[in-house]
Amino acid sequence: MYKAFYGLSDNPFSIAPNPHYLFLSDRHREALAHLTYGLGETGGFVLLTGEVGTGKTTVSRCLLKQLPENTDTAFILNPSLTELELLATLCDELGVHYGESPTLKQLTDQLSQFLLTNHEKGRNTVLIIDEAQHLRAEVLEQLRLLTNLETDTKKLLQVILIGQPELQQLLKRQELRQLAQRITARYHLLPLTQQEIALYVQHRLQVAGRHEPLFHRSAIKVLHQYSGGIPRLINLLCERALMAGYAQSKVPIDANMVRTAASEVLGEEIKQRKLLWPATAATLILATFAGAFYFFNLQGQGGIVQASEPAGTSTQQAGQSQSQSSFTPETQTQAAQTQVGQRPASQTNRQQAEETYASLSADQQILRQAIAQSRNIDTAYASILGLWDKAPYVGLTACQSAKQQGLDCFQQQGNWHSLVRLNYPAVVYLQDARGEPFYGTVVSRQGEQLLLQLAEQQLWVDRDWFTRHFAGTFELLWQAPSYQPKEIGRGSAQAQIQWLENALAQIQNKPARLVQYFDAELEQSLMDFQRQHGLRADAIAGSQTLVQLNLYLSDKGPRLQEGLQGRVQGEGRY
């Protein structure tokens, strides 16, 4: 009813999927590149996770459009099935015929024969499972067994699992460890930033026929505040705000309209949220300097803690105030129970907690305490800013503070190799033995060990410990060049093409060639670099590729290991 008032030809914020309104943020493009890379690696499983409404289905639909024509796809939307039902559904999706009341073996045999025949015809087979967090462990194991069918070079069935963050926890179960080892690419899709929300809203309005701005900048800020960057919530809030503007005959949509929309959509009276930084910035800065002081004193005494955990013990603790220096079994028990809203522990439980805590070594107790104090990511951000001789600004987020001081934030999904080859200090997302998140700052590296700052503690952790606790996401700060082209490809100027050749040669630690044009050797070198970094191997140095290149080439700021800038490190990987 408001379309004519705003000059729209369509409803721009419907939550129904419409390919005409497709908007791919940088995060969505990265996710798509990771999935494409994973499928190109001839492996069995590819994983995409994200919170509800972040755009996982959008990415999967884009992926379907990019699959080669010689690909047969099966799409399962309701994974709450038994092994028999899942295989029957897969047969239905692929057009595989089976008799009445088939057994598990009969369905497996039919699918195996189909996959072999498809391979002989030169066709690929891909299974996509949405809402995969609902899959039962035995069903996932059956899928793994089905992917055992392979040639010398590739799996005959590739599976894309799409689900909410609980899927990551499901795959950490002991009985699914073999499947987890077959995941060739994984990506966790994060919500949109405030800048991306502005682009998203304007994009949908333009598709619907309105090219003039309709939402005030203050409205975008409030929209980010209440939606959390979730596209589905953004659509609901924008839809309700447009109705409010129409009812009041007001243009543009302002912050108050979005707040009113939020109170209606979210079903409760919304109080304006306050940023965490003003309340904690001073504490975080003090904690960082206190941690550095404590670290250097420990180092001088030979007392840097080596992180280790006893088998069967949990590191899950409720966060403590950073000003506390003591960590007793009693406070540990009380903090943990306060977090989950339970009554005070019984005398028996308290005694058990005391006995468990007392049984830990001094290093293990320090590690427990450090993890308990590292539940707030702002502490880790304050630490990494300190490594760049910067500090958080009151009222700004970490990345906003960095931007104000000439730095840029860069987030990446990856593993040990991804982190050490970039060679930058980084904020790392970690998980304790119960899967609860905590955050640290990787400060330095020596061989197979990383110096990890957790709150006020700095600990050396080995590669095995880090791999077991790393959640796959890290963020770093860097100083971007003052100018770089949007992309470098075949049609670019010769100077830009030569720069690309020089950059790749330096990173690969080999002599640069003199190139007059974008030749086949440069194209192959660029595609190899893109594949190694989970980027789309399209032989075009776009924004993501250029950021990766410049991260290696930069000589500004701290490094995990000094003297290694500008070339790739680690087991022959890029």
pLDDT tens digit string along 389-414? Answer: 888 887 677 777 888 888 888 877 77
Strand residues in 447-559 grouped as ranges (E):
449-454, 457-462, 470-478
β-strand 408-413 against 158-163: which pairing, if any?
Answer: unpaired
Residue where the block lists tokens 């992180």 = 307
* Bridge partners of residue 51, in order along the sequence: none
- With a CB cutoff of 8 Å and minimum separation 6, the contacts of 563 are none
Strand residues in 109-247 grouped as ranges (E):
124-129, 158-163, 183-189
Joined together, the tokens standing for residue 467 give 């791999």
Report the pLDDT value the prediction gives residue 53, as an integer from 0 to 100: 87
- Of the candidates 570, 421, 411, 546, the one whose C-alpha atom is nearest the C-alpha of residue 488 is 546
Report the pLDDT value the prediction gives residue 80, as an integer from 0 to 100: 85
Distance CA(429)–CA(418), nearest Å, equals 14
To the nearest whole number, what is the mean pLDDT of the chain?
79
Joined together, the tokens standing for residue 271 give 């109080």
- The CA angle 477-47-378, to the nearest 5 degrees, is 30
- Cβ neighbours around 174 below 10 Å, total: 6
Does the reported pTM lie above 0.75? no
CA distances in angstroms from 247 to 1, 210, 216, 426, 484, listed in the order given:
10, 19, 18, 49, 46
% of the chain at pLDDT higher than 90:
30
- Is pLDDT of 570 > 60? no
CB 174 within 8 A of CB 36: no
Joined together, the tokens standing for residue 176 give 């699914």
- The CA angle 550-551-555, to the nearest 5 degrees, is 90
Residue 13 banded pLDDT, cuts 50, 70, 90: very high
Distance CA(419)–CA(474), nearest Å, equals 8
Residue 455 burial by CB count (10 A; 0-12/13-18/19+): exposed, middle or buried? buried
- Cβ neighbours around 169 below 10 Å, total: 13
- Is pLDDT of 507 > 90? no
Report the pLDDT value the prediction gives residue 62, as an integer from 0 to 100: 85
- Is pLDDT of 316 > 80? no
CB 288 within 8 A of CB 276: no
Distance CA(180)–CA(186), nearest Å, equals 10
Joined together, the tokens standing for residue 366 give 């320090």
Residue 312 banded pLDDT, cuts 50, 70, 90: very low
CB 133 within 8 A of CB 170: yes
CB 62 within 8 A of CB 24: yes
pLDDT tens digit string along 147-206? Answer: 888 877 778 899 999 999 999 888 888 889 888 888 888 888 989 999 899 999 999 998
Distance CA(355)–CA(348), nearest Å, equals 11
CA dihedral 8, 12, 18, 21 (to 10 degrees): 90
pLDDT tens digit string along 321-364? Answer: 333 333 333 333 333 333 334 444 445 555 555 555 556 667 77
pLDDT tens digit string along 543-563? Answer: 778 888 888 888 888 999 876
Q: What is the mean predicted confidence (pLDDT) over 462-489?
A: 85
Report the pLDDT value the prediction gives residue 414, as an integer from 0 to 100: 79
Report the pLDDT value the prediction gives residue 24, as an integer from 0 to 100: 85
CA distances in angstroms from 562 to 425, 450, 459, 508, 535, listed in the order given:
11, 14, 19, 18, 27
Amino acid at site 269: E
Q: What is the mean predicted confidence (pLDDT) over 40-61?
A: 83
> Is the model more confident about 567 or about 315?
567
What is the C-alpha end-to-end distance of the chain, expressed in Å?
55
- Is pLDDT of 514 > 60? yes
CA distances in angstroms from 51 to 234, 288, 518, listed in the order given:
14, 31, 41
Residue 90 banded pLDDT, cuts 50, 70, 90: very high
Distance CA(441)–CA(426), nearest Å, equals 6
Q: What is the mean predicted confidence (pLDDT) over 303-321?
A: 40
Distance CA(235)–CA(239), nearest Å, equals 6
- With a CB cutoff of 8 Å and minimum separation 6, the contacts of 447 are none
Distance CA(190)–CA(179), nearest Å, equals 24
Least reliable range by pLDDT among 157-166, 324-333, 451-460, 486-495: 324-333
Report the pLDDT value the prediction gives residue 481, as an integer from 0 to 100: 83
Report the pLDDT value the prediction gives residue 234, as an integer from 0 to 100: 94
% of the chain at pLDDT higher than 70:
80
Joined together, the tokens standing for residue 35 give 């999935």
- Is pLDDT of 18 > 50? yes
- With a CB cutoff of 8 Å and minimum separation 6, the contacts of 284 are 378, 379, 381, 382, 392
Distance CA(442)–CA(466), nearest Å, equals 10
- The CA angle 386-391-393, to the nearest 5 degrees, is 155
Report the pLDDT value the prediction gives residue 452, as an integer from 0 to 100: 94
Amino acid at site 163: G
For residue 133, give the 3-state DSSP assignment.
helix
CA distances in angstroms from 162 to 62, 159, 188, listed in the order given:
14, 10, 10
Interhelix angle 520-532/494-507, nearest 10 degrees = 50
pLDDT tens digit string along 371-380? Answer: 988 988 888 8
Report the pLDDT value the prediction gives residue 311, as an integer from 0 to 100: 37
CB 305 within 8 A of CB 367: yes
